Amino acid sequence: MKGLVTSGSRNIFTVSLEHDPARPPLECRIKGKILKDSEGFYNPLAPGDRVSIEAGPPRSGTGMILSLEKRRSVFTRFNQKGGAPQILAANVDIALLMTSPASPPFRPRFLDRALLQADAAGLEAFIVCNKYDLGADPDVEERLEDFIRIGYRVLRVSAKTRAGLSELRALIDGKSSVLVGQSGTGKSSLINALLSASKFRVGAINEKYDRGNHTTTMAVMVELPPGRAGAEAGGFGAGEPGPGGRAGTTRLIDTPGIRRFVPDGIKPGDIIFHLREFAPLAGTCTYGLSCSHRTEPGCKIMEAVSAGVIHEDRYESFLRIRDELSGGKYAD
Ligand SMILES: Nc1nc2c(ncn2[C@@H]2O[C@H](COP(=O)(O)OP(=O)(O)OP(=O)(O)O)[C@@H](O)[C@H]2O)c(=O)[nH]1
Ligand SMILES: [Mg+2]
Ligand SMILES: [Zn+2]
């Protein structure tokens, strides 16, 4: 039987049976403990993975995972504690990079890192600035506008007032998306708002530290009912089964808050190709691709920073990420 992983810790996974959606999902373990094609990761499976399973005894509600189907995409990060890459979501189309203008404070560096990862993973990425009902300082606005200037899509929304939700719904309609962001930015709240149901537990902000309390502890995938956005867009989004069955289902993956996003699987020399306003300049410096973009004469990256084509904060992020991924090789 084929199944779709909707959640899982490191060894027990909830698998829904797509051909038989009326049947309750099964709690599954991996047969033989090791799953081919998923070695070396912190977690062998993530929401969105498609697997072959063998059902357990009737009415046990359990099963065994036999094999993993080839992934079309993975959104990973390097899990420093575990010392290995962690799969946050599999087979998704879109990364919704969650941030808030306040409470917790706006963190553009988090966005730089997550945008880099999404690009390297070949995913479409949107910046979602939730809690917009709290208002945004001019500094926050300046950075959001700069992300727009360099070509990223920014959505200003509120899970609380529902402002901006129909625009967001239309963008994610018929696709699978993963929500990634720091604790307390309102990922679970936003999914609840889109579901119009209190499916996920939400947590208060720690007043002393002005940050979230890591309420969500496990990544979980949910399906959104076909919505008005789908009807407007027509086609699959309206909930009609497309070719191959249930194509066009709108899926969202909630993930636990991440304090610091460490990119995974990106070579230091390749970062430049994944940052939108840097990429066209790659290789154009006097010293070509071997330029460190720190001190060299004829450095087009540094010239672009001086000319305001590259925001200073983005340049700073670029240097820091490169330094981190190369083990301090570029440190001053
Ligand atoms: N004012 C306001 N508060 C919000 C909004 N969205 C969420 N909150 C509040 O922010 C707090 C954190 O929300 P959660 O949904 O738990 O945040 P999260 O990103 O899922 O956090 P983790 O699971 O810890 O990663 C809760 O107190 C929510 O009620 C919003 O749009 N506006
Ligand atoms: Mg949460
Ligand atoms: Zn240079």
pLDDT of residue 228: 56
State which ligand 1 atom lies nearest to the alpha carbon of 179: 19
219 vs 207: which has the higher pLDDT: 219
Question: Percentage of the chain surpassing pLDDT 90?
Answer: 84
Question: Is a pLDDT exceeding 50 seen at residue 240?
Answer: no
**CATH number for the domain including 241?**
3.40.50.300
pLDDT of residue 332: 64
| Mutate which of 202, 205, 213 for ligand 1 pocket (most atoms within 8 A of beta carbon) | 202
Strand partners of residue 154: 127
Give the whole-angstrom CA distance, residue 252 versus residue 6.
Answer: 10
Are 147 and 201 in the same domain? yes
Are 150 and 56 in the same domain? no
Tell me how far the alpha carbon of residue 58 lies from the centroid of ligand 1, in angstroms: 40
Are residues 124 and 131 in contact, defined by beta-carbon separation less than 8 angstroms? Answer: no
pLDDT category of residue 230 using cuts at 50, 70 and 90: very low
99 lines ligand 1 (CB under 6 A): no
Residue 17 counted as domain residue: yes
- Considering every ligand atom shown, identify the ligand nearest to the alpha carbon of residue 192 and give its number: 1
Residue 330 counted as domain residue: no
Residue 116 counted as domain residue: yes
Residue 261 counted as domain residue: no
Give the whole-angstrom CA distance, residue 166 versus residue 143.
Answer: 24
218 lines ligand 1 (CB under 6 A): no
Q: How do residues 131-141 score in pLDDT, each as one tens digit?
A: 999 999 999 99
Mean pLDDT of the chain: 92
Are residues 231 and 171 in contact, defined by beta-carbon separation less than 8 angstroms? Answer: no
Question: Is a pLDDT exceeding 90 seen at residue 208?
Answer: no
Tell me how far the alpha carbon of residue 201 lies from the centroid of ligand 2, in angstroms: 7
The domain of 37 spans 2-68
Question: Is a pLDDT exceeding 90 seen at residue 158?
Answer: yes
The phi, psi pair for 175, rounded to 5°, reads -125, 170
Among 254, 286, 310, the domain-final residue is 254
Give the whole-angstrom CA distance, residue 100 versus residue 82.
Answer: 28
Question: What tokens does 312 get?
Answer: 């200073």
pLDDT of residue 20: 84
What region, left, alpha or beta, does residue 129 occupy, with left being phi > 0 and alpha being psi -120 to 50 degrees?
beta
- The CA R_g of the chain, rounded to the nearest whole Å, is 21
pLDDT of residue 238: 43
pLDDT of residue 231: 43
Are 214 and 109 in the same domain? yes
Residue 109 counted as domain residue: yes
**CATH number for the domain including 279?**
1.10.40
Are 11 and 125 in the same domain? no
Q: Whose CA is nearest to atom 7 of ligand 1?
A: 186
233: exposed, middle or buried (C-beta count within 10 Å: 0-12, 13-18, 19+)? middle
pLDDT of residue 34: 83
Are 126 and 109 in the same domain? yes
pLDDT of residue 232: 41
Q: What is the mean pLDDT of residues 75-103?
A: 97
Question: What tokens does 190 get?
Answer: 């936003």
